[in-house]
Amino acid sequence: MDVKLYKKTGVDLSFTAPPSKSYSHRALICAALADGPSEILSPLFSDDISITCRGLSALGVELSRSDGSILVEGTGGVFPDMGEVTIDCGNSGTSLRFLTTLSLLSPSDVLLTGSRRMMERPIGGLADAIMQSGGVIRYFGEEGCPPLRISGEFIGGKVVVDASKSSQFISSLMLCGPYSDIPLEIMPKGSVASRSYIDITADVMKSFGADVVLNTDGCWEIKQGTYSSGKYHVEGDYSSASYLFATAAVCGGSVTVNNLNPASVQGDFRFLEALLCMGCSISYGESSVRVVSEGILKGIEIDMSSCPDVVQTLAAVCVFAKTRSIISGISHLKYKESDRIDAVRRMVEGCGAGFEEAGDDTIIITPGDLHGFELHPEDDHRTAMSGAVIGLGTGDVTIKDAECVSKSYPGFWDDLMEAGLLEEWF
């Protein structure tokens, strides 16, 4: 499916944020390990979450979908022997990384594979940490990338993790930490990409009863124990909401997004701080956020290392600023569903703004004579939705293969259509 966006001005809209993809993934892993049945309330139903569910099923976890929830029969950390297991994770890096450590708790040998792009995405930092803790890893392609076979055991102890390319390496270990043979200590080696997502992991684990401690030396300590089963409600997603907030910024007017936790630990919450610095006003309700803009934006200089999933959204807003913007801390975007630094370049240059790379982790966006263009998102959901933001500000933007948004926000185009922002698809 292709969609075409036309310029909109003076919007006054209200949306409901979809459930958080990050929280949904983590809740499913915790529920699968818990003692007894759990119900995940209001989870995200998307391509990525379906992949995680299929992976858990392949490991012997019983799951069923009810109206607005997922029922998970916890294993207590004891998985059945399923023989040799192969799990195709498609283009879901989160699924593959979380299932990597989880596979150590299974008596089965597990082969994890995925899409062509997945074969280029790094897993070595996590695999090296697993091998420090009793795991056995065999690669079947490029060293440090999927596909890989996991066997061995999860002893625990102190492991050193290079998480400079993804904080999910740490999160994967943390989620399984209560079930290691001895207490697990995770020591990051150097800088940690997207550190705020570790906070989400700890938040979910604590909700399921885990004892998680961040020591003063920066080491995560996971006490042995078990997760408690029960009901878990998934909060709304700030990264998905960013495209809706950005619509207010570039079109002028107001957008209210409901189903959001104003006290959330989601790092993508910081996108609102960026909009505030660019000239928007922000107000908070009990479970909603409202962004108001006069459509006059100024450039920004900001480090986005803690919230990479909204970099493309911010870049889409920056092309409408009157002055240049400098976005830093983004080197790890090269290892996402696509090379997202190059994706930003294609978007920014495509609409007529200026783009420049300054080293490995910084881009500069400068004003230009904006116009419509055709965007190929290369199967990256965030590129497609960020392109829609530009289209609503400039008009005449066609997004090819737009169905890729199903990875994280399946109802995105429907929400735009219902709001009167999308009129043409083919």
Place of tokens 């505030």: 276
Residue pair 241/408 in contact (Cβ under 8 Å)? The answer is no
Instruction: Give residue 216's pLDDT.
Output: 82
| Per-residue pLDDT at 193 exceeds 80 | no
The pLDDT > 70 percentage for the chain reads: 100
Place of tokens 């022997």: 81
Question: 3-18+236-425 sits in which CATH class?
Answer: alpha beta
**C-alpha atoms less than 13 angstroms from C-alpha of 323 in its C-beta half-sphere:** 8
Annotated binding-site residue? 194: yes
Residue pair 269/238 in contact (Cβ under 8 Å)? The answer is yes
pTM for this model (two decimals): 0.95
Separation CA 236–CA 313 (nearest Å): 17
Instruction: Give residue 213's pLDDT.
Output: 94
Separation CA 290–CA 256 (nearest Å): 4
Instruction: Give residue 357's pLDDT.
Output: 94
Residues 6+ apart with CB under 8 A from 347: 312, 315, 316, 319, 375, 383, 386, 387, 390
Pairing of strands 148-152, 135-139: antiparallel
Annotated binding-site residue? 93: yes
Annotated binding-site residue? 264: no
Q: What is the DSSP secondary-structure string of 165-214? A: S-THHHHHHHHHGGGSSEEEEEEE-S--TTTHHHHHHHHHHHHTT--EEE
Condensed to tens digits (0 to 9), the pLDDT of residues 241-290 reads 999 999 999 999 999 999 999 999 999 999 999 999 999 999 999 999 99
Annotated binding-site residue? 324: no
Catalytic residue among 47, 88, 268, 309: 309
Condensed to tens digits (0 to 9), the pLDDT of residues 131-185 reads 999 999 999 999 999 999 999 999 999 999 999 889 999 999 999 999 999 999 9
Pairing of strands 85-88, 110-113: parallel
Residue pair 313/355 in contact (Cβ under 8 Å)? The answer is no
Sheet with strand 362-366: strands edge to edge: 301-303, 325-328, 362-366, 354-357
Condensed to tens digits (0 to 9), the pLDDT of residues 194-235 reads 888 999 999 999 999 999 999 888 899 999 999 999 999 999
Annotated binding-site residue? 166: yes
* pLDDT band per the 50, 70, 90 thresholds, residue 192: confident
Annotated binding-site residue? 400: no
Instruction: Give residue 316's pLDDT.
Output: 98
Question: What residue spans define the domains of the chain?
Answer: 3-18+236-425, 21-215
Annotated binding-site residue? 21: yes
Q: Which of 53-57, 108-112, 356-360 has the lowest mean pLDDT?
A: 356-360
Give the residue from 74, 158, 161, 84 showing the smallest Cα distance to 122.
161
User: Is residue 309 annotated as a catalytic residue, yes or no?
Assistant: yes
Residue pair 330/360 in contact (Cβ under 8 Å)? The answer is no
Architecture of domain 21-215: Alpha-beta prism (3.65)
| Per-residue pLDDT at 9 exceeds 80 | yes
Segment holding 28, helix H or strand E: helix 21-33
3-18+236-425 against 21-215: fold identical: yes
Residue 327: what residue type?
I
The pair phi, psi for residue 71, each rounded to 5°, is -95, 130
Annotated binding-site residue? 167: yes
Residues 6+ apart with CB under 8 A from 135: 104, 127, 150, 151, 152, 153, 154
Which one has a higher pLDDT value, 407 or 423?
Answer: 407
Separation CA 293–CA 251 (nearest Å): 8
Q: No. of H helices and E strands in the chain?
A: 12, 24
